[in-house]
């Protein structure tokens, strides 16, 4: 059930057999969601934390005029609201991008895990810090990258995050958002997103058909998008 | 759901929309989407020269142009600040 969570943690540090057993022993319930449904609602006070098992989810804030900004995308194995273990009240929603499934783990189970292994506690803390690092990278893209670099950067990031889960095959991975979802992620108009995706295709940087993204030359896209993966902390070291 | 195509002229090249957007047959939304794109295009392309015209042309499924939004840009020195 939690092999992707464990894979993500083991990419950054060693886990003992006891720590893996603690994670595998989490209490949980599983729920499935359709496109646009909320996994966690803004304003709620969750008593459990939500882990993506399959599919993609987005962190979203809604403005009073109905506009939506997506501030993060979560992939399988990501806790989407670990920060609410401590923050208590959600300041944004988590919504499904197409279909997804998630496991809800009671905070009491996390509390017991952290008490049994402070090291696991640090690794969960690390996960929230990496979320914050990703958001800093997104802010730099929104503020300073060109639209083509911005979308290129997003795709490089997803490639790196999905690759460690074994979800990239020959440079291709499933990424099913609509153009409206992308527009809400990058803060650009729908038509400009459409045009920018075609620009990336015309440059041969990205092939994007229906729900599958293919990056024919990752090194070239990384150079184009000014992508440096350091912020993803894909280094295995004692933490 | 009808599909509309948004061709963009960014002052230098035209990007012919081969993907299109599936929209409710809501022409007000078509108009808003075309207009909404113009500031993004200008932000990406300016400053580049003293004159530019950015255009979004909308085609319907039958291939007819149905709407056009144009943003004109002009920059010039005035008075005696520059010979």
pLDDT exceeds 90 at position A84 = no
Q: Tokens 């047959």 appear where?
A: B25
Average pLDDT over residues A47-76: 95
Which of B1, B3, B5, B6 is most worth mutating to test chain A (most A CB atoms within 10 A of its CB)?
B6
Q: pTM of the prediction?
A: 0.94
pLDDT, tens only, B25-45: 789 999 999 999 999 999 998
Four-point Cα dihedral B15, B20, B21, B27, nearest 10: 80
What is the predicted ipTM? 0.90
With a pLDDT cut of 70, the percent of chain A lying above it is 100
Contact A165, A77 (CB under 8 A): yes
* A210 → chain B, closest CA residue: B19
Contact at CB, B19 and A188, closer than 8 angstroms: no
**Whole-number Cα distances in Å, A109 to A73, A106, A115, A193:** 25, 5, 10, 42
Residue of A67, A147, A183, A189 for testing the chain B interface, max B β-carbons within 10 Å: A189
Taking the C-alpha atoms of residue A75 and residue A54, their distance in angstroms, rounded to an integer, is: 8
Structure-token pair, residue B63 = 């291939």
* Confidence grade of residue A217 (pLDDT, cut at 50, 70, 90): very high
The Cα–Cα gap between A68 and A115 comes to 38
Q: Which two tokens stand for residue A15?
A: 């886990």
CB contact under 8 A, A190 and B15: no
Residue whose structure tokens are 């010039």: B76
């Amino acid at each position: 059930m939690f092999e992707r969570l464990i894979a993500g943690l083991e990419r950054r540090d060693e886990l003992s057999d006891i720590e893996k057993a603690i994670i595998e022993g989490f209490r949980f319930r599983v729920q499935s969601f359709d496109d646009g449904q909320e996994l966690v609602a803004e304003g709620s006070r969750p008593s459990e934390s939500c882990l993506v098992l399959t599919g993609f989810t987005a962190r979203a804030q809604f403005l009073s005029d109905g506009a939506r900004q997506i501030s993060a995308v979560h992939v399988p194995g990501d806790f989407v609201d670990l920060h609410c273990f401590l923050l208590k009240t959600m300041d944004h929603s988590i919504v499904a991008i197409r279909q997804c499934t998630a496991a809800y783990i009671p905070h009491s189970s996390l509390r017991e895990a952290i008490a049994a292994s402070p090291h696991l506690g640090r690794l969960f803390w690390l996960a929230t810090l990496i979320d914050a690092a990703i958001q800093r990278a997104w802010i730099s893209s929104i503020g300073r990258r060109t639209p083509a670099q911005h979308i290129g950067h997003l795709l490089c990031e997803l490639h790196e995050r999905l690759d460690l889960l074994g979800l990239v095959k020959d440079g291709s991975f499933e990424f099913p958002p609509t153009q409206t979802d992308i527009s809400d992620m990058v803060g650009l108009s729908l038509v400009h997103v459409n045009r920018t995706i075609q620009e990336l295709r015309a440059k041969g940087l990205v092939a994007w058909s229906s729900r599958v993204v293919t990056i024919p030359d990752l090194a070239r896209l990384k150079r184009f998008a000014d992508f440096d993966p350091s912020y993803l902390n894909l280094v295995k070291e004692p933490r | 759901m009808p599909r509309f195509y948004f061709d963009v002229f960014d002052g230098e090249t035209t990007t012919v929309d081969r993907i299109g957007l599936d929209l409710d047959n809501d022409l007000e939304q078509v108009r808003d989407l075309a207009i909404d794109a113009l500031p993004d295009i200008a932000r990406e392309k300016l400053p580049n020269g003293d004159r530019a015209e950015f255009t979004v042309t909308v085609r319907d499924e039958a291939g007819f142009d149905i709407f056009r939004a144009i943003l004109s840009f002009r920059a010039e020195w005035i008075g005696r600040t520059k010979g």
